[in-house]
Structure 1
Amino acid sequence: MSARAGSNLIERANRVAAIAGKFADSVDKEGRFPHEAIDAMKAERLLGIQVSCEMGGESAEIDQIAETCCILGQSCAASAMIFAMHHIKLSSVVEHGQSVEWHRDFLRHIAEKQLLLASATTEGGIGGDLRNSICAIEVDGDTCRLEKNATVISYGVYADAILITSRSHKDAVSSDQVITVFLKDQYTLEKTNEWDALGMRGTCSEGFVFRGEALKVQILPRPFADIAAQSMLAQSHTLWGSLWYGIAIDAVSRAQAFVRAAARRNPGTPQPGALRVAEASNMLQMLKSEIIACLKIYNDAKRDPDKLASMGFAIAMNNLKVATSQTILQIINHAMLVCGIMGYKNGTPYSLGRHLRDAHSAQLMISNERILGNTATMLLIHKQNTSLLG
């Protein structure tokens, strides 16, 4: 994507963010899907930007998608999360599906129709471990069938297609997985639980029994283990981190506005909250640096298959997720202390309750405990990189 096209993307993202921001509080309060924001994304053609230009998209790189997540996160975290999750799923097809004509046609259709993709990687009985499945895809000639107790499918009833994991066949071990694209008219969803959550309420992450029948070619041709390690891991942690950074930016901006307003009312009087704003700004800068560094690591690794499959790469992405999910809470807490009761109350220009509640989901989306456990195992055999230069 050219610099001019990138600038155009930022303008479009800002227009969507302005619409998302108008409805963010009602989306949160009512726990409803952010129709207005998603309709605006489709109108601005943001859902197909990752698809290549020759297939009708814009060949957007991870940096541009991350920046869009950041912009949206400053207005409505739930809308930003839906955008991020859509592109995380889209990356699986872009990076791993193009050897099959059906998937190339699917990419063209996404770009043309601005289809919204959802994910079904969690399952009852596996404890949130997306790298294991109980259910198995059944292949019968040119047809495949799947039934899965999916404990969470974010915005599942609003999606145009769902990418869903399973064992590769009925005799496969739990970690031998594939991921399959099912179009909306190829499956049914039987709701098993509601979504009445602390934060990220607009993602509508309900649970369902999924039952689908599709063509065998809709199974992505690469094992899910490769897809997870080579694109999904990095896409998830960089895009989530970017939108969480956006939440923190808006929280600090509200705290900064609070201090400025107090200074105007009492000119020449020291403002105690100003020091906390400075501390929060420092943490924001460190968080931004971490995200930018990991975006560079990912871009470099995409050109080197050995790096992409290395423990060092996986550890860097794991560290990014843990660091961003923990740091945003510290930043927002600082902002809350600055704004005081005006930040604690809803309905004020300085309200931070939604920011704090949305941010608390970050440590749970692929649990930090699970990620730290995986990193600890890798560090038993992997030597830490001690260089500043790479």
Structure 2
Amino acid sequence: MNVQEVHFSSLAAESGRSFQQRAAAVAEAAATEAVAVDREARFPRKAIEAARKERLLGVQIPIEFGGEGASILEVADMCYALGRACASAGMIFAMHQTKIACLVRHGAGSAWHERLMRRIAHEQLLMASSTTEGQNGGNIRFSTAAVEREGAEISLVRDATVISYGAEADGIVTIARRADDAAGSDQVLLAITRDDYTLEPTLAWETLGMRGTCSAGFKLNFKGSADQIFPVAYNKIHAQTMTPVAHLCWSSVWAGIAAAAVDRAQLFIRKAARGAGGSMPPGAAHFTSAKMTLNKLRAIIAANLESYATSEHDEHMLSSVDFQSAINLLKVEASELAVSTVMHAMRACGLSGYRNDSDVSVGRHLRDVLSAPIMINNDRILSSMNAATLMSAVPMSLRD
């Protein structure tokens, strides 16, 4: 690590500000434009610029490559804080951090990927994700587009139906078939940077919620070096890092959205009770339900975070049926609980929560959180888990 990289990576430590304090500063910036980001379906530029200023985009990068070596626990807490302020900003941050986790865990030892880690830490590059293509319906374990090889050079043309914040990103992490004659499930992961590819818009992003993620469709044209392919097979990356980190970070964002809705419900109930001389309004029971559901949501995320943090370097454990079932069920349960929490919060507020022009409006939060069950559709996950859950033993005690 050179002198300049040491300087940048140590700025936060020298200031004495914690990750939590720096994430709070980003969340504050995100909150100032959350309404406009949603209304105009525009990229949350203030939030991402604040994340760059606080040097959080490279926070997971190991210290030896100029980062700060943040843990999954610390990153998930940042996702929660940003989700409370602006769902789109939180989800962009979560998706970026998922790609960085793949780079950190599976790029070590590759000179090209280590250089990219240094660049991300130094330049605070924003990395997008491209895992959905053509008509595969979100099945990211099957690719149509294949890597073409010509000596040490490779190319890829990919019909990406969704590249979240692709037009704003400095690079993309994408999957593809290993070669023309490879099966759709024989995949590789590539990290590519802005000077390697072009994007041709194909699909707009006009959605109910998560509008600021700007998840438009593009035709991706890439030419670069074979060194940009991760040295580890994608099936291993998918099981050990991509899926668990994505589900933990996404769930943390959804929990943040739910917490913001509960905040508004609490404000409404307190105001209503004061106005009625202490008598609880009819929606008070829904506020209690919202608070209880949020507590359950946070508890299951915390349990899975602890499980992953304990086992993240144990390849046997990460590949086990029990772990894979648990981390996939986290996504399903967290997304459903988040929706339930926000619905209870809206019913606690009644018409005031339903309105878009009140200080306790929950409409934006509901529209955003409704994306949760369909981001990698819960039905697809549950359907794919049928055989695995049959093989998994039923616990014999509460401690198993």
**Normalising TM by the smaller chain, what interval?**
over 0.9
Q: Distance in 1 between matches of 2:16 and 2:236?
A: 30
Which stretch shows the higher mean deviation, 15-24 or 265-274? 265-274
Mark the CA change 1:291 to 1:338 in structure 2 (over 3 Å): closer, same or farther.
same
For 1:313 and 1:7, the matched residues in 2 are separated by 35
Structure 1 residues 138, 199: closer, same or farther in 2, change over 3 A?
same
Which one of the candidate residues 323, 329, 345 is aligned to 2:333? 323
Deviations for 1:295-340, whole angstroms, at most 9, x for unmatched residues?
A: 0111122142211110100111011100111111111111111111
Distance 2:214 2:145 in 1: 23
Deviating 4+ runs (over 4 angstroms): 2-7
Q: What corresponds to 2:267 in structure 1?
A: 257
- Counterparts in 2 of 1:237-386, with a 5 A limit? 237-386=247-396
| Aligned-partner Cα distance in 2 for 1:82–1:5 | 26
2:60 equivalent in structure 1: 50
1:264: how far off?
1.5
Counterpart CA distance in 2 for 1:383 and 1:6 is 47
Contact 2:79 2:93 survives alignment (8 Å):
yes
The alpha-carbon distance between structure 1 residues 259 and 360, as it changes in their structure 2 partners (threshold 3 A), is: same
The residue type paired with residue 301 of structure 1 is S
Partners of 2:177 and 2:184 within 8 A in 1: yes
- Superposition deviation, residue 127 in structure 1: 1.9
Amino acid at match of 2:126: L
Closer, same or farther: CA 255–317 of 1 in aligned 2, 3 Å: same
8 A contact 2:283–2:350 mirrored in 1 = no
SS at match of 2:373: coil
In the TM superposition, residue 347 of structure 1 has moved relative to its aligned partner by 2.3
**Cα pair 1:6 1:64 within 8 Å, conserved:** no
Mapping for residues 139-288 of structure 1, pairs under 5 Å: 139-288=149-298
Work out which of the residue numbers 113, 118, 129 in structure 1 matches 2:128: 118
- The residue aligned with 1:65 is 75
TM (norm. structure 1) is 0.97
User: Residues 7-86 of structure 1: matches in 2 within 5 Å?
Assistant: 8-86=18-96
Contact residue 285 and residue 348 of structure 2 kept, 8 A: no
Which blocks of at least 5 consecutive residues in structure 2 are unaligned? Answer: 1-11
Residues of 2 paired with 1:345 and 1:155: CA distance?
Answer: 29
Greater Cα shift, 371-380 or 66-75: 371-380
CA apart distance, 1:35: 0.7
**Preserved CA contact (<8 Å) 2:272 2:280:** no
Normalising by structure 2, report the TM-score: 0.95
- Percent identity over the alignment is 44
Number of residues of Structure 1 aligned to a counterpart in Structure 2: 389
- Residues 223-266 of structure 1, C-alpha deviations (whole Å, 9 max, x = no match): 11110000011101110000100000010110010010111212
Range moving further from structure 2, 329-338 or 272-281: 272-281
Q: Letter of the 2:78 partner, please give it.
A: T
